[in-house]
Structure 1
Amino acid sequence: MIRQRVITLSGLILCILFLPGCWDYQKINDRSQIIAVGVEPTSVNPKMLTYTLQIPVFQQPEQGGAAPGSGGGEPSSNYHNYVISALSFDEAVSKAQTQSDKGLYLGNIQLIVYSTKLSHAQFRRTTGEFMRNPRFEKLSWVEFTPQSPSEVLSAKTDLAPADSFERILSSSVKQHGYTVRTHLWEFWRDFWTIGRQPYGGEIQKTPTGFRVDGLVVPVRHNNCIELTPEETLYFNMLCRRVQSISFNVIDGAESFGVGEVNTKSNLSVFMNKGRGNVLRARIRVHALVVRDERDGMVLLSHKDMKRYERVMSDQIKSQVEQVIQKFQHNETDPFGFGETIVTQNPRMAEYVASQWPHDFAHSTSNIQVEVRLKRKGALR
């Protein structure tokens, strides 16, 4: 009986010794995860780009020494930015490795920040590098900035900037109508999708931290089309989805507020030979009236609610048409109208690839908005 217990104990010890990680539990101290990448042009060489690689700092130097963060070398800095000019991303990582005594890993990248000053070819080349690298995290968020990405990635935040950005972008809060959230694989997919242009959100550094709102579309003329947060809201109503957001509806000299706004949409194109194409969209909106024009002192009648629905429908339709026209002026279709043509008729792929930008710019729009409002009641 005693011998059996000894054998069992010996077997248990052997199992523990050979568990994965038992012998290399300190290896995590030999690794540095790159959590954000910034990309911007450099004046040194038009073929080179400046990459900002952000890594978290988990241990502060002893004896009150300064941490290697980019925030002025303050002891409380919890990240470090490597700013390196190179011909490729892999070369930038290799150069950064010469400055670090830890191995740099790419499997935990949360954010990519592109400068809007990059050319269309540079966007495409760099995104291709990221996608072809098997170690690169394909679920990274893609954001644009008119500022320097190295400056944005040094914003004042409680966490490392990349962690703060990722917390907002991947949050369970559904009120993201004023910006868009695009993963790396989606951004690259749209580069190759016939009838659709890639796009991403906009991020900027502020004196107190940062701001994430708006939308940016890189176009072939080596510039970017930018939408304001308000324009982005109507862009999302047209070709994405808006959930649980609140905004103001103008009604002549008055206005009323709506909340818990949820939208769905369907896009299609009517090919009208000889008379131009028609861009069709049907947008369904469900919302709650949270502030009426009489501050809730009088109960809204059924007639009032129908008028509110009509006013809100007209506002959404007008704003959506303006957003479409802004992109038509640049012969750019980020909505995916051209993609719907190919989806319904694959034989039209060659036409969409070659002629759709021009035909899209000269198409008319037919936007139908169906609004359904609810009310809370009146104060007495």
Structure 2
Amino acid sequence: MYSFLVFGTAGCWSSRELNESALVAGAGFDRRDGKYQLTIQILQPGKLTPSTRGQSERAVYVSQDTGKTIFEAIRTFPHQTTRKLYWSHCQVFIVGREIAEESVTKTLNWFYRNQELRPLSYVAMSEGEASEILMTKTHLNPIPAYDIASDIKTLSDTSQAPTVTLKDFMKMTANPIGTAYMPVLNKMRIVGTAVFLHDRLAGELNWDESRGLLSLNGLVNSGKILVPSSTTVRTERTEQQDFSTFEIIHENVTRKVKFVQSKPIVSYHIRCTVDLADDPSLEQHSTSDVKKLEQEASERIKQQAEACIQKVKDWHADVIGAGEAIHRSRPREWQRLKDGWEQKFPSTSIEVTADVRVRHEGLIRGRM
């Protein structure tokens, strides 16, 4: 009796050759004649080497197609590129405003489910059409989509607007409260934050309101605070207010909830440690001067947070975690409030306090 061992063939059976793939660097979504329009930047690796002029050529080409669904649009691309799209190098997804007003998760759902794609790609909304951004030429980076992704990543250092990945956004929209946000692009520049309620655009926050959003959610990693200085620049014709700049070293937020006559009051206390990075005064700072600057900076943070709260209350969009704070601290009360929370949120009392402390106060007072 003979025994036979059958060995399966080993190897990368699902591998794909580079010359058979179109490597996607970035993608944008718009509406066109009732269909989805997909715009993609496809990498051209051969053009990534510096040219004879000392600059890199544009290392991508832009392609477009449409479909009744996103999947249909994707599947028609091989007819244009003669290669199958490969998504693992895609670093940014840009949603056009019309798509944002309709449904974002419906558009991004296929990409989130796709095992080939890393869900850590960044997402952003375009104030106009996403295709216009992806067709814009840049001089600093031969791959414009990567330039945008780099700018979004830098937001975590400047704390001007939120850094949001595909995974982050899909998790936010899955929250029962149904709110989410992502940065907003105007051409190639980030200009604020888009706020979503039930998967549709509710409105946009400007720079100050975006900083308030980050502070209220404990997402400020670093950045700057600009406050009026005690000095004034005078010339023969004008008198101009000077400013002092603080560098944020650390910031966190504490949320507390109390109930008065069965109504919730959510309190946010923002603590911020800073260094005085730039000050026009050549004189030594006294302790009272430092305290005054700290108060000015604290008031600035509070104003930004309150401006954000007012906007999102107008939109009934709780992107500041008020409902979550109630849920965590008073779960039984939250059971009573959670149904129809978006209608109750605008009338919910929210209090904000901020406390800025200058680090290394002695170094500020005297190096003269």
**Is TM more than 0.5 here?**
yes
| Contact kept in structure 2, 1:268 and 1:337, CA below 8 Å | no
Tell me the distance in 1 between the aligned counterparts of 2:330 and 2:177: 12
Contact residue 145 and residue 202 of structure 1 kept, 8 A: yes
**Structure 1 residue aligned with 2:3:** none
Q: Distance in 2 between matches of 1:131 and 1:264?
A: 31
Is the counterpart of residue 235 in structure 1 residue 235 in structure 2? no
Report the CA distance shift for 1:121/1:211 in structure 2 as closer, same or farther (over 3 A): closer
Q: 1:289 aligns with which of 276, 279, 291?
A: 276
Among candidates 116, 134, 137, match of residue 156 of structure 1: 137
Partner Cα separation in structure 2 for residue 285 and residue 311 of structure 1: 13
Between 1:102-111 and 1:184-193, the stretch displaced more is: 102-111
Of residues 39, 44, 53, the one that matches 1:52 is 39
Residue identity in the other structure for 1:32: A
Contact 1:277 1:359 (C-alpha < 8 Å) held by counterparts: no
Number of the residue aligned with 1:356: 341
Does residue 31 (structure 1) correspond to residue 21 (structure 2)? The answer is yes
Q: Which residue, 197, 202, 217 being the options, matches 2:195?
A: 217
CA 1:32/1:268 → structure 2, altered by over 3 Å: closer, same or farther?
A: farther
User: Structure 1 length normalisation: TM-score?
Assistant: 0.79
Structure 2 matches for 1:335-350, cutoff 5 A? 335-346=320-331
The residue that corresponds to 2:79 in the other structure is 98
Give the TM-score normalised by the residue count of structure 2.
0.82
Deviation at 1:38, TM superposition (A): 0.5
Cα distance between partner residues in 2 of 1:141 and 1:167: 10
1:297 CA displacement: 2.0
| Offset from partner CA, 1:264-296 (integer Å, 9 cap, x none) | 11234333344x32121111100012334xx33
Selected match of 1:167 from 124, 127, 150: 150
Shift of residue 202 of structure 1?
1.4
Aligned in 2, Cα 1:258/1:347: closer, same or farther, shift over 3 Å?
A: same
Describe the shift of the 1:118–1:224 C-alpha distance in structure 2 as closer, same or farther (beyond 3 A).
Answer: farther
Matched, 1:185 2:163: no
Residue 155 of structure 1 aligns to a residue whose secondary structure is coil
Following superposition, the deviation at residue 229 of structure 1 comes to 1.8
Identity over aligned residues, as a percent?
A: 20
Please state whether the residue corresponding to 1:325 is helix, strand or coil: helix
SS in 1 for 2:339: helix
Q: Distance in 1 between matches of 2:212 and 2:15?
A: 51
Residue type at the aligned position of 1:229: W
Larger deviation, residues 125-134 vs 355-364: 125-134
For residue 25 of structure 2, what is the amino acid of its counterpart?
I
Q: What is the CA deviation profile of residues 76-99 of structure 1, one whole-angstrom value per residue up to 9, with x for unaligned ones? A: 331122211212222111111111
Distance, in Å, in 1 between the alignment partners of 2:124 and 2:344 is 29
Q: How much is the aligned-residue C-alpha RMSD, in angstroms? A: 3.0
Instruction: Return the alpha-carbon distance in structure 1 between the equivalents of residues 334 and 119 of structure 2.
Output: 27
After TM superposition, give the deviation of residue 27 of structure 1 in Å.
2.3
Relative distance call for 1:185 and 1:351 in structure 2 (3 A) is: farther
1:126-165, CA deviations, whole angstroms, 9 ceiling, x for partnerless residues?
1323223333321110101112111101222222111112
Unmatched runs of 5 consecutive residues or more in structure 2: 1-8, 48-55, 231-240
- Alpha-carbon contact 2:173-2:199 (below 8 Å) kept: no
What are the equivalent positions in structure 2 for 1:1-380 lying under 5 Å apart? 27-42=17-32, 44-45=33-34, 48-59=35-46, 76-157=57-138, 158-170=141-153, 174-195=156-177, 197-205=179-187, 210-220=188-198, 223-250=201-228, 255-274=243-262, 276-292=263-279, 295-346=280-331, 351-374=336-359, 375=361, 376-377=363-364, 380=368
Q: Across the two proteins, how many residue pairs are aligned to each other?
A: 338
Q: Which runs of 5+ in 1 are unaligned?
A: 1-17, 61-74
1:168, distance to aligned residue in structure 2 (A): 2.9
